[in-house]
Structure 1
Amino acid sequence: MPAAPTARTLPLAGQSQTETDNEQWVEPIRWVALAVFVVLPVFAFFVQRFAGRVVWTVMIAALPLFIVLIGYHRWRRICPLAFFSQIPVMLRRPGTLKASEWLERNYYYVSFAVFFFSLWLRLIATNGSGASISIFFIIISLAALVTGALYTGKTWCNYFCPVSFIEKIYTEPHGLRTTLNSQCEKCTACKHACPDINEENGYWKEINLTAKRFVYYAFPGLVFGFYFYYYLQAGTWSYYFTRVEGYSGAWVNQPGIIWTAFLPGRDSETAGFFFMQGMPRSLASVLTLAVCALLSFLLFSWLQIFIGAYLRRRETDGDAQRVRHVTFSIAAFTAFLTFYTFAGAPTLWKLPWAIPHLFLILIALTATLTLARRVRRQSKDFAEETLARSILRRWIWDDMQPPRDLHEAFLIHTIRSRENARGAAQTIEIYKEAVRETLANGFVTREEVHLLESLRNQLQIKKSDHDKVMAALADEDRALLSDPARQVTVEKRLQLATYSRALEQFLGKILAADGNADDSFVRQLRSEYRVTEEEHAAVLDDLLGGSRGLAARLAEEIATVERAAKTMQVLDLQKSPTHDFLKDLLRRRRAHSVEILARGLSFSLEEEEAISLRAGLCSPEESERVSVIEQLRASLPQAIADKLLAAYRETSLAESSLPTMTDTLAQRTHSVDPYVRAVALYALGERGAADTKILVRMLGDEHELVRETAAHLKERAEMGADTVGAHDHLITVEKMIALRSAPIFSSLGPGALAELARASREDEYAAGQALCMEGEEGNEVFIILSGEVNVMLRDGLGEKMVNSEVAGGFIGELAVLDPAPRSATLRASEHGAHVLRLGGEAFRNALNADPSIAAGVIRTLAQRLRHPHDE
């Protein structure tokens, strides 16, 4: 027998304690890299002869391969320039400025421009001049230091460093090796979609940036243009590769080139181009770099069109994002191979012949493996893995560790869940918690979660259960929507979480010592973490058990109650099945919100007060609702009571100011409840008031029912039909309204109605046509939508009508409940009949799940026992 499951939390897959220990080698390498970086400018200044060769053909040439092989996040921890940018943080004098919105949008252009300028400097100054190399390294180190002193976090690494976009190009969306992230110990939320927290998340969030596209496509050409200029300047490749006598590494040992770079060329050494010697080297080199980068951008932009056409023929999911990702992958592959066609060659070819050949094999193998790993990757894979790792954190089997392979883990989880009586419910709860955490982290959107069908299938999560989970989480998210201070990105969440831990440690010391709080320390802590007064207050309230977040949530529940009450009053003015259904949905929403309020205020309310609260808020009389909220002042903290009353008054005023029923229904299409959205939209369609703006918005809704309703209304509008129902087949929301009209289903919730609606099909029957025949096997029940159905029994003279059912009637259930032949024939009356045919399995499932249906069936059977004529 499997071990009984118990809830516990495990580390994220890929970040176990063992792997953390295995990362200990990174720190020594970091210090070695820093030492080498500090020594290089000294070496270059004093050893002119070897400065250019060691720096450019050994150290810099090895850097991209090093980054690819060890992984993006390890390199981010090792990088010496990152160390210089963090010196102010180590000195507890960090910068406080944050990158502007313009820089956030255009930082790819900025870092590309810095890199472009650095390449140009190499061609006119730093290639073979030890002194120039020393000055360049000192300046760029000072730039990193000053940026760290002025700006918060890793602003230098993310926005200005000339290597920042290159390390991304070679390792995005995920490198050859999975590595722990490189997030700051004191996160200041300096960048949206921070790559140090999750590189792949940043890649998919930024993949549609115009700046990113330009840099990816221009970079291969820029690399080629840099090396091609050696040929354009000298008229021979030997000037660069140094394999012919007479050239002997000329470019790596040219200390005075800067003094002639801006003057017209006089000879082969000072010429701008070999075919145009008079052009200054500075102008010729910048033209070469710019033209090659531009041609590369145009080439890959053109290639993207053909890749898109190819993918659309071969793949069903060849959308614009997929096309751009594949093109990015090819551009990165091209840039890597282009770089290593030239980089390091002047030194490699001085070694025994086997070494450069083996090195090129290593380069080709690395580039090919990287391309194969990244080109098949999709944002859906990332979303699925993120959610899967969150699920594995909640591994419930104590007798074994979760496997590293996600597929194997899901297989074990599924088998054991089947063997455990509570497995299904626990699986859904684990799934809900995993989705909640994943959405909160910001790595995956609600829309992406809806697309993860393969993951749901592995966990055996039904679509209806998934919809319930998403609806419940949407209900929780209303607190975020109602309080802008709580709408946080993953970077802001990490920032506040790390600040909370630091503040908690400080408060623990204060409480343990029974002393006074040091305001100066708190101010310093806030400065280091770039936390505002409002954020500090929220964190402090959470740590001390305060109710700042609770008040916002409860205020939103009050608003929901009042919106429901006002809307139901408006709907009472015009009775219809659709309006009745919408009122029922709103009553359910109201009851849910009232229950949350009662539970949330249980710390302040006596039992009698809670009962009074429930009754008062569910009252249709506005005066009673106001009265019960006013009474809360005597029991609640002033801040919470004021917030609740303000929320009520604001909502009441807003709802009362809506001039027409159409305006009220339009507002309900923004509801967090997808069923309310769908039925409100359908009600608008019945009134001919579903305008294009609303339909376009609802066509992009996350819930299938809403999208189906919007698509139907759009189609009807385009066809110019006069009424919503004037079409061949009922849509799901229409079936739900029809099913609810049958007394036996009138108490069902929207989720159950939706399942029954999807399991049913409608049929039209002409006068006298049989729905089913006496004596035949039957596995369907019939819900009469319109017309009339006659119940016929055979006797010696033929068929005799013994009863009839009209619209709203329900008939045929005996043949489903008791596997016996039909006991009567059902025929459409003289005016025909329009019915829903509901499969027996769906009916039995509904019967087992909802006691109210069972009670209705019993009442119906009792009536038919008193009048034995149906079946």
Structure 2
Amino acid sequence: MFRNQLSEKKIRIIRWVLVILWIILIASLFYDPVSSYLTSPETKWSPLKIALGCVLLFQGECLQDKPYPLGTTIFWGAVIPGAVMMLLVFGHETWRRICPLSFLSQIPRALNIQRKRKKVSKIGKVSYELVRVGQDSWLGRNHLYLQFGLLFLGLSLRILLINSERLLLGIFLILTIFSAITVGYLFAGKSWCHYFCPMAPVQMVYNGPRGLLGSKTHKDQKLKLTQSTCRTIDANGQEKNACVACQKPCLDIDAENSYWKGLNKPGRKLVQYGYLGIVIGFYLYYWFYSGTLEYYYSGIWTHEGDQLANLFNPGFFLNGQTIPIPRIIAVPFTLAFFIGLSYFVFNHLEKVYRSYQIRIQKPLEKIQVQHIVFSISTFVVFNIYFLFAGRPLTRLLPPIVELSFNALVIMVSTLWLYKTLRRTEEKYIREKLTQSLRRQLQQLPFDLSKYLKGSSVEQLNSYEVHILAKVIPSFSQEKSLQLYKEMLRELLQQGCVSSVNSLETLQDIRKELDISEEKHFAILNELSSENPNFVL
């Protein structure tokens, strides 16, 4: 929907609309004399009107409601759940192209005021280059821990303060915007999105290899700018690639490649399994704190006052009794406990499942087992999330609407799981190799029509492309080597293979093109001399 079918010009309009709406929402958190009218019990026609008298029992005592502005309710009950639904259905590529925060983080680039580093060449020539986050730097290696830590901190603050304190939520959102802009000034590219944004782990979990309707960029050779690749518009109105190589492999260029290459990245399991735990702990805390889940479903937590005064009040109410542990300790403790529990359970599940596959003599690679358990955990957390997220609003709608929403959640998550479980890294690489081979075949100065029976190379299926490749050595060994070299160059540039694993990964292609191991290493040496970054 919002992928490459929409031009950058149209996407910019959508971004500006979303930014303006976000600014209006933030402004309403500071001043909103209007929306409280919709929640007044005297507004009989409004589905948002509150009930008079005792709303629910909170820690065993009657809790009454009062009219309130809708800013926090809209943000927590509609905006955030909508973003999560979009991630699983349309994939990160849709969200990244329209995300207001990602857009605002690019203001320094648009104004050409990004920080630059002075560089002096061997001959004394001075130049200035944009500062990038080094892949081997501490941040480059450990950013998932940082982002998950920020997510943990943000959710703790949300329960303790910003859930219902409109002023604090407004300040929090403004500080987040300025943080994104600051990172956009300090580092090139989408460094905020890749290395700092606490929403990035959420995107990683719900996207998986790709969203339910996500694009198959590795199979589409027509696209020059794939998925949410950084792009700009030149003086002629044409879209241009604006990538500055801030991350490799890049989630915005090829999400599935980034997924498979990142499964063993430091912090990846913590993000996947820890996120499930943090979601469970987050929503169960409302029960632990109040003594009833009705406290959450009523939505009264979106507009309670005096949250600062409640920081040191008892944080648990279990079995009809308050437990004298301050909320400021109880909240992070609950989240941390469920993070640890979820991590332990699903990490153990990986081992059990792998042992089971060995026992039935159908062993799977470790990375495939991890992928399967990751996918199951995403399915579980998505459905748990929507047992709670948005419910204070959806329960105000007619029952048929809420039932339809429930059906939608189950349907899209089941379809996503079915689609995702069938993916393997081997299948992805094979599809990628086929497309790369197809591109190189099209560039050969040979008339291949007599082998294609009226079809073009583009119309051939995977099997036919590989059959065609086998005849290339009969034309010219030199052309066969050139084809292999260009294909290897492309795969190295995209991070699909490395100099270490390319020999094994391209084994079948080498046989088809009659390329020996010695020739492979000779070509690899040529490429490394042209670009030392290929030697990983």
TM-score bucket (shorter structure): 0.7 to 0.9
Matched, 1:31 2:16: yes
CA distance 1:105–1:421, shift in 2 (3 Å): closer
> In the alignment, residue 306 of structure 2 is paired with which amino acid?
G
Tell me the equivalent position of 1:165.
201
Matched, 1:251 2:304: no
Matched, 1:149 2:195: no
Structure 1 unaligned regions, length at least 5:
1-17, 243-248, 266-270, 493-871
Tell me the equivalent position of 2:169.
133
Kindly indicate whether the alpha-carbon contact (under 8 Å) linking 2:81 and 2:390 is maintained by their aligned counterparts in 1.
Answer: yes
Matched, 1:110 2:146: yes
Take 2:336 and 2:262, find their aligned partners in 1: how far apart are those partners? Answer: 25
Tell me the equivalent position of 1:295.
341
SS at match of 2:431: helix
Give CA deviations for 1:399-457 in whole Å, capped at 9, x if unaligned. Answer: 655557x7x2543774798799849997776455423422343312353563467x65x
Kindly indicate whether the alpha-carbon contact (under 8 Å) linking 1:114 and 1:162 is maintained by their aligned counterparts in 2.
Answer: yes
Tell me the equivalent position of 2:491.
438
Kindly indicate whether the alpha-carbon contact (under 8 Å) linking 2:438 and 2:465 is maintained by their aligned counterparts in 1.
Answer: no
Cα deviation for residue 258 of structure 1 reads 2.5
CA distance 1:394–1:142, shift in 2 (3 Å): same
SS at match of 2:533: coil
- Give 1:688-703 correspondences, 5 Å limit: none
SS at match of 1:393: helix
Kindly indicate whether the alpha-carbon contact (under 8 Å) linking 1:273 and 1:284 is maintained by their aligned counterparts in 2.
Answer: no
Give CA deviations for 1:721-757 in whole Å, capped at 9, x if unaligned. Answer: xxxxxxxxxxxxxxxxxxxxxxxxxxxxxxxxxxxxx
Cα deviation for residue 159 of structure 1 reads 0.9
Cα deviation for residue 28 of structure 1 reads 3.4
Matched, 1:285 2:346: no
SS at match of 2:267: helix
Take 2:504 and 2:280, find their aligned partners in 1: how far apart are those partners? Answer: 43
SS at match of 1:109: helix
CA distance 1:163–1:489, shift in 2 (3 Å): farther
Q: Could you tell me which of 225, 240, 253 is aligned with 2:281?
A: 225
> In the alignment, residue 81 of structure 2 is paired with which amino acid?
A
Tell me the equivalent position of 1:235.
291
Cα deviation for residue 90 of structure 1 reads 0.6
Take 1:81 and 1:489, find their aligned partners in 2: how far apart are those partners? Answer: 33
Take 1:25 and 1:313, find their aligned partners in 2: how far apart are those partners? Answer: 54
Give CA deviations for 1:112-161 in whole Å, capped at 9, x if unaligned. Answer: 11111111111111112221221111011011011111222221111110
- Give 1:774-793 correspondences, 5 Å limit: none
Structure 2 unaligned regions, length at least 5:
33-67, 117-130, 216-225, 232-241, 443-447
Kindly indicate whether the alpha-carbon contact (under 8 Å) linking 2:88 and 2:206 is maintained by their aligned counterparts in 1.
Answer: yes
Tell me the equivalent position of 1:357.
403
Give CA deviations for 1:376-399 in whole Å, capped at 9, x if unaligned. Answer: 322212221221111222354676
SS at match of 2:70: helix
CA distance 1:178–1:400, shift in 2 (3 Å): farther
Give CA deviations for 1:772-816 in whole Å, capped at 9, x if unaligned. Answer: xxxxxxxxxxxxxxxxxxxxxxxxxxxxxxxxxxxxxxxxxxxxx
Cα deviation for residue 210 of structure 1 reads 3.6
- TM-score relative to the length of structure 2: 0.76
- Give 1:641-680 correspondences, 5 Å limit: none
Take 1:225 and 1:416, find their aligned partners in 2: how far apart are those partners? Answer: 54
Cα deviation for residue 338 of structure 1 reads 1.4
CA distance 1:294–1:146, shift in 2 (3 Å): same
Tell me the equivalent position of 1:632.
none
Kindly indicate whether the alpha-carbon contact (under 8 Å) linking 2:434 and 2:465 is maintained by their aligned counterparts in 1.
Answer: no
SS at match of 1:318: coil
Cα deviation for residue 50 of structure 1 reads 1.1
> In the alignment, residue 186 of structure 2 is paired with which amino acid?
L
Tell me the equivalent position of 2:87.
67
CA distance 1:250–1:216, shift in 2 (3 Å): same
Take 1:183 and 1:235, find their aligned partners in 2: how far apart are those partners? Answer: 47
Take 1:51 and 1:437, find their aligned partners in 2: how far apart are those partners? Answer: 49
Kindly indicate whether the alpha-carbon contact (under 8 Å) linking 1:380 and 1:448 is maintained by their aligned counterparts in 2.
Answer: no
RMSD of Structure 2 on Structure 1 (CA): 3.1
Tell me the equivalent position of 1:264.
313
Take 2:471 and 2:185, find their aligned partners in 1: how far apart are those partners? Answer: 58
Tell me the equivalent position of 1:487.
532
Matched, 1:50 2:70: yes
Take 1:160 and 1:380, find their aligned partners in 2: how far apart are those partners? Answer: 31
SS at match of 2:277: helix
Cα deviation for residue 33 of structure 1 reads 2.1
Structure 1 runs of 4+ aligned residues shifted over 6 Å read 415-421, 423-428
Identity %: 29
Take 2:291 and 2:418, find their aligned partners in 1: how far apart are those partners? Answer: 37
Matched, 1:209 2:265: yes
CA distance 1:140–1:419, shift in 2 (3 Å): closer
Kindly indicate whether the alpha-carbon contact (under 8 Å) linking 2:437 and 2:465 is maintained by their aligned counterparts in 1.
Answer: no
Tell me the equivalent position of 2:523.
476
SS at match of 1:273: strand
Take 1:371 and 1:102, find their aligned partners in 2: how far apart are those partners? Answer: 34
Kindly indicate whether the alpha-carbon contact (under 8 Å) linking 2:212 and 2:416 is maintained by their aligned counterparts in 1.
Answer: yes
CA distance 1:365–1:314, shift in 2 (3 Å): farther
CA distance 1:141–1:472, shift in 2 (3 Å): same
Take 1:474 and 1:417, find their aligned partners in 2: how far apart are those partners? Answer: 21
Aligned length: 451
Tell me the equivalent position of 1:309.
355
Worse-superposed segment, 125-134 or 85-94: 125-134
